[in-house]
């Protein structure tokens, strides 16, 4: 049986985290749960403790990527075979955890991405983020030959070969590990597939991509992609 860990990175999600954890349990998902509390200043940690879920408290805010990498390192140490990364804001559907795990178990993949743009998806991001997603998808196709419809999805199943690589990456983005890290994984031979998933509306709080943050996010990830491709070119020239 595949030993599976669900990693839930959170930052100030006291209004959402209870519903997220209880929603997972209500769907009879028996995988281990790990909440990585990324230096929250609200009551998030106390609620997680009350729910009896494994909790790692980071002493200060590392960023979404830093919290994820902490979870990957935990998975390596504890000998897990599969990690499901699942956001703590209530926008991911717990039933999709099983869908991703089943797709991974079918074999021949290292990463299963939950795409909000496949199937009968109704996901409609803001204009800046939508343009960014389409741009990142185009760059990935040009750089790798692989089509990824949702390169910024936070709902992913990550196999051991992939999360071991993530765990030891010295340049793993602390804030937005999205299309840039995906390109790195494909270029080193990781196999990527997508499955359709449903995005739920956020119940409380503010998205880390709200307002002008979405524009900053697109610019930042775009520059990070350029850096990834430049480093790859330098390595080829050095051989």
Most confident of 64-73, 129-138, 212-221: 64-73
Q: Which residues pair with 82 in a beta bridge?
A: 4, 159
Does the pLDDT of residue 238 top 60, yes or no? no
* Per-residue model confidence (pLDDT) at position 233: 57
Domains located in the chain, CATH noted: 4-124+148-206 (3.90.550.10)
* Per-residue model confidence (pLDDT) at position 78: 98
C-alpha angle with apex 182: 208 to 21, nearest 5 degrees? 50
Does the pLDDT of residue 234 top 70, yes or no? no
Nearest to 88 by CA among 33, 17, 18, 15: 17
* Per-residue model confidence (pLDDT) at position 135: 87
95: left (phi over 0), alpha (psi -120 to 50) or beta: alpha
* Per-residue model confidence (pLDDT) at position 56: 98
Tens of pLDDT, residue by residue over 144-154, are 999 999 998 99
Nearest to 144 by CA among 113, 181, 103, 105: 181
- Weakest-pLDDT range from 47-51, 101-105, 125-129, 160-164: 125-129
Confidence band for 126, pLDDT divided at 50, 70 and 90: confident
* Per-residue model confidence (pLDDT) at position 17: 97
The answer to whether the CB of 152 falls within 8 A of the CB of 65 is no
Task: Tell me the two tokens of residue 56.
Answer: 């790692």
Tens of pLDDT, residue by residue over 171-230, are 787 777 778 888 889 989 999 999 999 888 766 655 554 556 667 666 766 666 676 666
Helix (H, G, I), strand (E, B) or coil at 196: strand
Tens of pLDDT, residue by residue over 3-56, are 999 999 999 999 999 999 999 999 999 999 999 999 999 999 999 999 999 999
Q: Residues near 129 by Cβ (< 8 Å), separated by ≥ 6?
A: 152, 209, 214, 217, 218
């Amino acid at each position: 049986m595949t030993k599976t860990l669900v990693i839930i990175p959170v930052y100030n999600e006291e209004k959402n985290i209870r519903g997220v954890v209880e929603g997972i349990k209500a769907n009879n998902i028996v995988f281990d749960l790990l909440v990585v509390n990324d230096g929250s200043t609200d009551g998030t940690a106390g609620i997680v403790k009350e729910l009896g879920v494994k909790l790692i408290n980071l002493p200060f805010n590392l960023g979404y990527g830093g919290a994820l990498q902490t979870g990957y390192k935990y998975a390596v140490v504890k000998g897990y075979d599969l990690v499901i990364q699942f956001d703590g804001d209530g926008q991911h559907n717990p039933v999709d955890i099983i869908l991703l795990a089943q797709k991974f178990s079918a074999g021949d993949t290292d990463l299963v991405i939950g795409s909000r743009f496949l199937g009968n998806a109704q996901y409609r991001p803001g204009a800046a983020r939508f343009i960014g997603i389409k741009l990142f998808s185009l760059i990935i196709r040009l750089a790798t030959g692989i089509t990824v419809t949702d390169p910024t999805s936070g709902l992913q199943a990550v196999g051991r070969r992939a999360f071991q690589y993530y765990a030891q990456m010295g340049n793993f983005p602390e804030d937005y590990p999205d299309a840039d890290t995906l390109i790195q994984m494909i270029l080193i031979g990781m196999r990527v597939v997508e499955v359709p998933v449903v995005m739920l509306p956020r119940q409380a709080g503010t998205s880390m991509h709200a307002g002008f943050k979405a524009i900053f996010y697109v610019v930042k990830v775009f520059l990070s992609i350029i850096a990834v491709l430049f480093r790859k070119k330098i390595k080829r020239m050095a051989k």
